Structure 1
Amino acid sequence: MKVNKLLISVLAASTILMLSGCDYVEKNKVVDELTKQQEEQKARIDQLEKRLEQETKKTNTIEKQSISLINSTKLLAQVVKEIKHQQDTFVFTEFNPDQTKYFILNNGSVGIAGRVLSVEAIENGSVIHMSLANLLSIPVSNIGFHATWGGERPGDLKEYAKWQQLLFSTTMNSTLKLLPGQWQDINLTLGVSPNNLKYLKLAINMQNINFDNLPPADNRQKKSKK
């Protein structure tokens, strides 16, 4: 009997040890699995952070290149940026030459960007110094304008009719030729003093417009080499 009791006690103790050992192994497996998942998640987070950092660097590089391009070339992107709050297409444009820096004229056939450089007083009126750039991909020549100008536009509708009667207008012809994407300075002479020149309306005169073709690329390269 004593031997049997002893065997039973030993077996019971062995069973408890085996169960405890199994529990320990299972717990270790769970801990290892959780640790592995955490490491995988951390690795994914690190990858995402690296991607975000790379994208941020790319964005910063692009922004720096864009700013550098605008500042160095002073091409049409700067004009578009300055007037992005306006509509993209203008059959005519109205502005105060003393307060406006950039404008666009686009009647569907000809597109011109302009910038007002200065307004100068002369003996019989004013000279508006401005630059124009051709927005098309081909040269345009004989560009003229329909111009209307005068005093400041009234805010009161009752004074609008009288103000219109006091405006001056004319049609201007020229032999001006604009190449694609290049600025060219022009002078616009008007018969009122700068103090009385607070309104200018411009539209493109299409009467004598010519659309020219660009010379072949080979010819342009040969000319540049010469």
Structure 2
Amino acid sequence: MVIALDGPAGAGKSTVARAVADALGFTYLDTGAMYRCVALAALTRGEAPDRVATSVRIELTDAVRLDGVDVSAAIRDPEVSAEASRIAVLPAVRAALVTRQRELIAAGGDWVAEGRDIGTVVWPEAELKVFLTASPEARARRRSAQTGAPYEQTLAEQIERDARDGSRAQSPLRAAADAICLDSTGLRLSEVVAAIARLARERMANRPALS
């Protein structure tokens, strides 16, 4: 089974996806980490992002590894985050990473894949699609608490990123037509995770029996 979890920046997708995967015994696919790896490699090596996207080796296991080196902390640097947001709109970068993401999922197994275009582009066949969102203010507060950046600055950057993600020519941020929209503004993490896990179990229970 594949659970596609999409939504805007600051909606808590990574935290929720990881917790849902743990609750169900699924594998968590952090597509955002892949873009951050490309951004980090481009910044540190001075190479073009489109070239990096097709040449680097990215491993998403117990840690995020870039060409064998653990970069779990390095990819969360604010400069890397900003660069990842910038390169994510580049068609060549998106095409390269979407291909990698599809290959991982197609290899089999149960996945919770999170990003901004999982249910619309990467894996439209997902059995459960959830579009996780929250009010801009709630998302900015969460991100500010996570990074330590001032709230007003975080809110302004987030509004800019929302506009960029929603208007890009390739894979714009939008909910799939058959996605379930879940607003987490007034919900605790445990409530969001329980809701998605319940939906997944219902879908699995309603699968046609094999003949």
TM-score, reference length from structure 2: 0.23
Name which structure has the greater RCO, CA cutoff 8 Å, separation 6+. Answer: 2
Higher strand share: 1
